[in-house]
Amino acid sequence: MGLRFFGLTQTYRISLFSQIHDIVFYGKGGYDWHTIYDMPIWLRNFTFQRINDHYLEENKQAKKAHGQSSNSKSITTDGKVTSPEFLKHAKQPTTSYSTKASKK
């Protein structure tokens, strides 16, 4: 399909509708489709960029937090599982029963 007089190209339409979808979806209910469609282009681009920046920063913080919490490996190179640090100092439970069969 070629260019239309007073129409949008296929590529621009896909870009436009993808941007509208992303703003509505990732805006968490703050925007509806018609509001974004009727929004000036500069404001729609600004809104899209702010939402994108927010999620990039959130992702960066999540990776940073995940990296700090998983600095020790739970599986060694020989395949053995190591216990977490807090369990190494825990008191071992004692049982009050015997597992030996009674002698008759």
Q: Is the CB of residue 90 less than 8 Å from the CB of residue 83?
A: no
Instruction: Give the start-to-end residue ranges of the domains of the chain.
Output: 10-66
pLDDT at 31 over 80: yes
DSSP letter assigned to residue 79: S
pLDDT tens digit sequence for 34-59: 999 999 999 999 999 999 999 999 99
User: What CA–CA distances, in Å, run from 101 to 71, 94, 98, 104?
Assistant: 46, 19, 8, 9
pLDDT tens digit sequence for 58-80: 999 988 887 765 555 667 777 77
Q: Residues of 4-31 as b/e, b for ≥16 C-beta within 10 angstroms?
A: eeeeeeeeeeeeeeebbebbbeeeeeeb
